[in-house]
């Protein structure tokens, strides 16, 4: 947390959740939710996904407008880039077969003041076939923890991973995993900080015992002038980690959560379960994301992992027609009261505007004529299976 404050240059008070995420779980377990609490401790707005423009509208409704709204650039934060320990972007990423779910892992921690830190952190993810049928693919990825300012030493033997028998009565490789051991790539650069990853095929048979993974690597810190060998052990359990997010396919060059981002500068929405399947509204307004029927406060169709919710589990029923569109303004036909959107995922969509449509541009009330081609835009509309839709609200921001 101190490192985040240092690099971001922030001056506000931070609240840090415990390492087992009790606050995150109590507040619904979404990865980027947003809450507004008043001075009496009452929850007055809640949103499944943080939205800067909608939050501004909420605060104006709750507190009142200000004459000169503050923009991020006005804060003049003394940001400091985190130190870069070595080169990056020199190791090619592997192609993942599809969406994979992160697994619960348990690092076997040494005791005592001289215990070696986990300089490299393991992330293990399984495809749906492995979790449901016991036979599928496992993605193993080691990432260097930037807080330690270490890098891989490519002048010695690369990282080496072995899946060994978890029972003390047995020795040797775990026959359920192919390959049972893996050696990282040879890299031309003498040092780098890129992830080390590979895919394995796992066939559990009748056993659901965790996998025992032993990793060996060299970690180096140039600032402190040391380079040391590390051997560490993890247990990988075959159950989803509800705090691990998702790992999506990288086919076509996409990174997880790809896309150009929304009005608040966040990465693309991707396919969050059941987003957009509720009628109307922003913030805590009826039918919106505010915890009322159809909202996300733990009620049916809501936020706490119930069917169709945003708790990281897929909806058990097919999603309904979309109620939102994201992208950029392609063209405007004021005479016909219509605009065309260049959709984020490709293609275009026509949207009708009527006298009930609420329009905001750059956080100010606006008209259709105020919108400009190229503006980033979010359109909320009533459910429609096909054809032009009529917007209930539009949030736009200039380039």
Q: Considering only CA atoms, which of 106, 118, 131, 121 is closest in space to residue 212?
A: 106
Alpha carbon distance 353, 334 (integer Å)? 9
181's tokens: 């051991």
Alpha carbon distance 366, 373 (integer Å)? 15
- CB-facing half-sphere around the CA of 340: CA atoms within 13 A: 8
CATH 2.60.40 residue spans of the chain: 101-240
Q: Are residues 192 and 200 in contact, defined by beta-carbon separation less than 8 angstroms?
A: no
Q: What DSSP assignment string belongs to 180-202?
A: SEEEPPP-SSSEE---EEEEEEE
Split at pLDDT 50, 70, 90, the class of 262 is very low
Q: Considering only CA atoms, which of 265, 275, 282, 262 is closest in space to residue 58?
A: 282
Q: What's the length of the chain? A: 399
Q: What DSSP assignment string belongs to 315-370?
A: -SS------EEEEEEEEEETTTTEEEEEETTSSEEEEE--TT-EEEETTEE--GGG
Backbone angles phi, psi at 118, to 5 degrees: -85, 85
The helix/strand/coil state of 73 is helix
Summarised one tens digit per residue, pLDDT across range 32-74 is: 889 999 999 999 999 988 998 899 999 999 999 998 888 877 8
Q: Is 126 exposed, middle or buried (0-12, 13-18, 19+ CB in 10 A)?
A: buried
Residue 279 in this model has a pLDDT that exceeds 50: no
CATH 2.40.50.140 residue spans of the chain: 321-399
Alpha carbon distance 212, 106 (integer Å)? 10
Split at pLDDT 50, 70, 90, the class of 123 is very high
Backbone angles phi, psi at 29, to 5 degrees: 75, 20
The per-residue pLDDT of the chain, averaged, comes to 80
Q: Considering only CA atoms, which of 296, 378, 391 is closest in space to residue 343?
A: 378
Q: Considering only CA atoms, which of 275, 238, 300 is closest in space to residue 31?
A: 275
Which is more confident, 392 or 199? 199
Q: Give the pLDDT of residue 139.
A: 96
268's tokens: 């693309």
**Is 101-240 a CATH 2.60.40 domain?**
yes
Summarised one tens digit per residue, pLDDT across range 86-97 is: 999 999 999 988
Q: What DSSP assignment string belongs to 244-276?
A: S--B---GGGPPTT-SS--TTSPPP----TTTT
Q: May I ask the CATH class of domain 321-399?
A: mainly beta
Q: What DSSP assignment string belongs to 93-125?
A: PPPP-S-BEEEEEEE-PPPSTTPPP--EEEEEE
Write the DSSP symbol of residue 213.
E
Q: Give the pLDDT of residue 161.
A: 98
Split at pLDDT 50, 70, 90, the class of 263 is very low
Residue 82 in this model has a pLDDT that exceeds 60: yes
Split at pLDDT 50, 70, 90, the class of 242 is confident
Pairing, β 358-361 against β 389-397: parallel
Alpha carbon distance 252, 244 (integer Å)? 23
Residue 306 in this model has a pLDDT that exceeds 80: no
Residue 7 in this model has a pLDDT that exceeds 90: no
Split at pLDDT 50, 70, 90, the class of 198 is very high
R_g of the chain, CA atoms, integer Å: 24
Q: Give the pLDDT of residue 260.
A: 34
The whole-number average pLDDT for the span 256-265 is 35
Helix runs in the chain, H state only:
2-8, 22-26, 52-62, 128-133
The whole-number average pLDDT for the span 127-135 is 92
* C-beta atoms surrounding 203 within 10 Å: 14
Q: Give the pLDDT of residue 145.
A: 92
């Amino acid at each position: 947390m101190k490192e985040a404050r240092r690099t971001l240059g922030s001056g506000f008070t931070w609240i840090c959740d415990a390492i087992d995420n009790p606050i995150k779980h109590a507040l619904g377990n979404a990865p980027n939710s947003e809450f507004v609490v008043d001075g009496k401790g009452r929850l007055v707005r809640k949103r499944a996904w943080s939205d800067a423009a909608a939050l501004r509208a909420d605060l104006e409704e709750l507190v009142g407008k200000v004459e000169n709204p503050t923009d991020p650039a006005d804060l003049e934060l003394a940001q400091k880039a985190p130190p870069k320990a070595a080169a990056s972007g020199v190791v090619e990423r592997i192609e993942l077969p599809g969406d994979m779910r992160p697994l619960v892992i348990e690092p076997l921690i040494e005791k005592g003041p001289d215990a070696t830190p986990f300089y490299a952190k393991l992330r293990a993810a399984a495809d749906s076939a492995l979790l449901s049928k016991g036979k599928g693919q496992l993605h193993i990825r080691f990432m260097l923890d930037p807080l330690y300012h270490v890098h891989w030493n490519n002048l010695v033997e690369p990282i080496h991973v072995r899946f060994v028998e978890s029972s003390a009565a047995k020795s040797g490789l775990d026959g359920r995993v192919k390959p049972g051991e893996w050696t990282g790539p040879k890299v031309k650069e003498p040092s780098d900080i890129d992830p080390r990853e590979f895919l394995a095929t796992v066939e559990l048979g009748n056993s659901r015992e965790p996998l025992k993974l032993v990793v060996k690597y060299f970690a180096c810190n140039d600032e402190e002038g040391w380079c040391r060998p590390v051997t560490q052990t993890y247990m990988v359990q075959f159950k989803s980690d509800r705090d691990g997010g998702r790992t999506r396919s990288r086919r076509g060059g996409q990174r997880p959560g790809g896309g150009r981002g929304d009005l608040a500068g966040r990465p693309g929405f991707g396919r969050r379960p059941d987003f957009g399947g509720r009628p109307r509204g922003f913030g805590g307004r009826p039918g919106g994301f505010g915890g009322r029927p159809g909202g996300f406060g733990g009620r049916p169709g809501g936020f706490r992992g119930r069917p169709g919710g945003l708790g990281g589990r897929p909806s058990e029923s097919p999603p309904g027609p979309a109620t939102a569109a994201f992208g950029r303004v392609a063209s405007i036909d004021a005479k016909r009261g219509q605009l065309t959107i260049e959709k984020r995922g490709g293609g275009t969509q026509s949207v009708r505007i009527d006298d009930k449509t609420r329009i905001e541009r750059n956080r100010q009330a606006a008209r259709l004529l105020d919108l400009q081609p190229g503006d980033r835009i979010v359109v909320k509309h009533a459910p429609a299976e096909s054809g032009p839709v009529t917007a209930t609200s539009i949030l736009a921001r200039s380039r």
